[in-house]
Each structure stands twice: as C-alpha cells, then as structure tokens.
Amino acid sequence: MTSADQTSTQGDADAGRLHVVVIGASLAGLFAAVAAADAGCRVTVLDRDLLPDRPQSRPGVPQGDQPHVFLYRGLLAAEELLPGLDAELVTAGAVPIDTGRLPWLAEYGWSPIGDHGYRILSLTRPLLEQIVRRRVAATDRVAIRGGVQVDGLQRRLAGWVLHSRDAAPIEADLVIDASGRTSRLDRWLDVLGVPAARVSRIDAGVGYATRLYRGGPGTPVVVLATVEHARGGLVLPVEGDRWQVGVVGIGDDRPPRDADGFLAYLRGLRDPALADQVQGWEPLGDVAVHRQTANVRHHYEELEQWPARLLVLGDAFCAFDPIYGHGITVAARQAVELRGQVAGLTTAAETRRLQRRLAEVVELPWAIAAGQDLRFPTSQGRQTRRQALISNWGRQVGHLASCGNARAAAVLSRMYHLMGAPLEIFHPALIGAVALARVRGFPAGNPRPAMLPDPRPGSRDAPGGAGAAAPG
C-alpha cells in the first residue's frame, strides 16, 4: 500500500469516528482532548488565544504567572493520561519536592518534618501547559486550533454546530466546554431554552502577587494565610535556575503590584523565612498580580433538561480559590473519568449521568475550599453545619500536627493531596488524641524546622550536588 493509500485509509477511518470539539486549550481542555482521543474519538480543540510555541503567559490564562501546585493525585491522573509526562517535566526543569520535608507554617505553627508527605513538581504554569499541549498535539486524531473564539452553539439532529466570528461553522457530534472562568455556557443554554443552573459563589477577596528571582542558595518555604494572619507567601524553585516568590492577602490587605510594596509586604509576613531569602536575589521582570479567585460552582449536574452530548468540566464547571491548588488536579481527574465513557454517549440521560460523575470529582475539593474560605470575615455567607463541623475538626487535627503528631500530619497531607477519604480525619486515634489534648492542653508547637537543602538540580546542596553529603 502506498503512503497516499494509507493517508486515504486513515482519513476514511477518522471520518467515521465521533467528532468531539473541546472549547478551551488550557490544561482542562488538553486533558479532556487526550481522554477523548484515547476513547477513539476524533478531537478538535479550539481556543480564542493564538497559542505560543514556547512557554509564555497568554491572556486566556490570567493566573499563569502565579505559583501553581500540582497535587500528587493530579500528577497520578496526568501520568495516566499522558504516560511519561512526569519524567518529561523533570527533564524540562521541573523541581521535585518532598512535601513531608517542606517547611510549612500553618495556623497553629510549623508542620512536622517527616515521611508523611507526597512528591510534587515545582515549575511555572507556562512550561507545564506548553509541554502538555505539545504532547496532546502529537496524539493521533487531535487537532488544536488557536485564534478561534466560539460565540454560540446550535443544536442539530445528532450533534452540534459551533459558530465563531473567526472561522466557518464547525460541526461536532459532542461538545466539551473547558473554557474556564470566562465560559459563556450559561448564556448559550439560555438561548437553547435550558433553565438556568444554580450557582454557588464564595469569594473571600483573595489576591496574589508574584515575582521571579534568580539567586541562591535557597529553600522552598510556605507560610499560610489564616483567619488570624491574613498574609501568606511562598518561595518555590522553578525551571531555569529561578525562584518563584509569591505573597497572598485577604480583603483590603491584598498585596500591591509595585516592587517596593511587594518587598514591604513580604517583610510583613508573620515569619521572616521568605524575606530573608530574597535579600540579594536578582528580580526578573515585574510583579504580577491576580485577583480572580472566587470559588464558583455551576450546578449543571442538577438540570433535568440537560442536552445530549454536551459536557462541561474544569473551571467552567467549578472554579476554586487557587490558594488550595485544586484546579489542575480536578481537571485531570475529570478527564480520566471522561475517558471511559465519552465514546458511548448518545442520549441526554447518558450525558446527564456522566455530568453527574464529573460533579462527584469536585465534591471533596469544593468542601475544603468553600468551607475554609467561609471562615474569613471577608466572605459573604456562612458555613453550613456540616462545613463548620468539618472545618472546626480539621483545625483541631491541624493543631495536633503542629504539636508533632505524625498521624495528624499524615492524614492532613492525604486530604490536601486528595489521596484519602474524608472519614480518615475522624480516625478514632485522632479523636482520642484531640480529646486528651483538650483536657491536658495542647503541647508546645514545633519550632521552625531547619531549612531544607537547595533542591535545584546542580546546586551545591541538592541531592548529588557538590554540597550534598557523600553516601556512607
């Protein structure tokens, strides 16, 4: 068979496949695209931005310059969708960090250092997105088109037509909205006669400011913002021998965008561990700010008139306050859920069932993010009784962890990385330990731990580096 014959045969085979159009080429859309392709579908990904061929920020990802945490559960899901991704990210410069040994100042003090943590990768969002996009673009049956903004959806007998001012109408058998916080799906559904979905919105008024630096040696450190201390921050190593330094504030105490104000804000944290490191480092570029941080959940899964072969996931479905690091992980997990069922969708009832499965993925992270943000006086609304119970109990367990309780630290780490079941936090041993501490008084908190060795590859302090201890 000639190459022309092979191309023709492949084209004929693809022509008979279910055509899935994904709106949005950020991480949620890319994960969804590879999941649909794995299920045997032909996939077209559309994004309103002109997509860069190198790691750089873009308008459609306004939070792209801010620190991103890829939780361990998200790494597992992404690796399942794109085998070898973890190693490829490390090769590109991502820095592995053991969170069990990461200095972490929480509400009641420093978390204990131990073997209770999970491995994460620290890298910038533009590099992560560029590598994932390159992998997905190389996948059979996936085409990615930038510079195409979808302006509307039109029903047809067995599928959809997508309209855009930038391109001719595009026909699809199935549409997945992964367009993020700026999704227009609610308006499109209104035009189609679908009743409006209930929307939950919780906004604590969180604001971020971040700046890149070059310098060192250094160590990753996290200082959490709490109800009592509304300022937080972190220092993380990223690719290119750089450090990402970020600060976060709540309500009227959000960080400014000017360089002097940024440094002053950093020095105003409740511990000098971050400000001390930055002294002498070389700033790279301006301070980047971000304030689109509300938790917003569209309860599309509740609609009984949901159209057939239309799905929504990622931030277009449920957007989280980025302070908790849930967004990327939830998107990857939803794509894994999607992969096993998308090719067989035909009826509205089947589509509703899958949309409800996607909603189940957000339940635990939504409970964590919403419950915690409602504790801040800047949030409108009040915790439900269930949220208050879980939140207050979590604080007690966190207090135990800050006093050196290894079980408490391990359970909280599992919850944070979405690796455990919610009931683990109510283990009888923890209930007993909290009860005893409330009778006898909680022990003194952990002192600030010794700073970790510089984890950047090639640094003097990195494992295997010139400053690392020789094996015994």
CATH fold, domain 206-290, is Alpha-Beta Plaits (3.30.70)
How confident is the model over 269-310, as pLDDT tens digits? Answer: 999 999 999 998 999 999 999 999 999 999 999 999 999 999
* From 7-11, 199-203, 288-292, 397-401, the region with the lowest mean pLDDT: 7-11
How confident is the model over 177-190, as pLDDT tens digits? Answer: 999 999 999 999 99
Structural contact between residues 93 and 458, judged by C-beta atoms closer than 8 angstroms: no
Distance CA 305, CA 176 (A): 17
**pLDDT at residue 217, rounded to an integer:** 84
Distance CA 159, CA 143 (A): 19
Confidence of residue 392 (pLDDT cuts 50, 70, 90): confident
**pLDDT at residue 215, rounded to an integer:** 87
| Joined tokens for residue 445 | 């908190």
Confidence of residue 384 (pLDDT cuts 50, 70, 90): confident
**pLDDT at residue 14, rounded to an integer:** 57
Confidence of residue 458 (pLDDT cuts 50, 70, 90): low
Percent residues over pLDDT 70 in the chain: 93
How confident is the model over 43-70, as pLDDT tens digits? Answer: 999 999 999 999 999 999 989 999 987 8
17-68+124-202+295-371 and 206-290 share one CATH topology?
no
Of 340 and 464, which is predicted with more confidence?
A: 340
Domain boundaries defined on the chain: 17-68+124-202+295-371, 206-290
**pLDDT at residue 446, rounded to an integer:** 72
**pLDDT at residue 387, rounded to an integer:** 80
Chain-centroid distance of CA 108 in Å reads: 25
Distance CA 227, CA 225 (A): 7
Chain-centroid distance of CA 329 in Å reads: 5
Q: Which residues pair with 105 in a beta bridge?
A: 110, 223
Distance CA 378, CA 228 (A): 12
**pLDDT at residue 397, rounded to an integer:** 92
How confident is the model over 345-357, as pLDDT tens digits? Answer: 999 999 999 999 9
Instruction: Supply φ then ψ for residue 162, to 5 degrees.
Output: -100, 130
Mean pLDDT value across residues 83-87: 97
C-beta pairs of 152-159 under 8 Å, 24+ apart in sequence: 152/188, 152/191, 153/188, 153/191, 153/192, 153/310, 155/192, 155/307, 159/19, 159/309
> Rounded to a whole number, what is the distance in angstroms from the first to the last CA of the chain?
61
Structural contact between residues 104 and 446, judged by C-beta atoms closer than 8 angstroms: no
Residue 460 has pLDDT above 70, yes or no: no
**pLDDT at residue 43, rounded to an integer:** 98
Residue in 375, 98, 106 with CA at minimum distance from that of residue 223:
106
**Whole-model pTM?**
0.91
Contacts of 30 (CB under 8 A, 6+ apart): 45, 129, 132, 133, 136
Distance CA 251, CA 376 (A): 9
Distance CA 367, CA 391 (A): 9
Residue 71 has pLDDT above 50, yes or no: yes
Structural contact between residues 182 and 254, judged by C-beta atoms closer than 8 angstroms: no
Mean pLDDT value across residues 310-323: 96
Structural contact between residues 114 and 409, judged by C-beta atoms closer than 8 angstroms: yes
User: Max Cα separation, the chain?
Assistant: 82
Distance CA 419, CA 119 (A): 12
State whether CATH 3.50.50.60 applies to domain 17-68+124-202+295-371.
yes
Mean per-residue pLDDT of the chain: 89
Q: What amino acid occupies position 461?
A: D
Residue 216 has pLDDT above 90, yes or no: no
Confidence of residue 12 (pLDDT cuts 50, 70, 90): very low
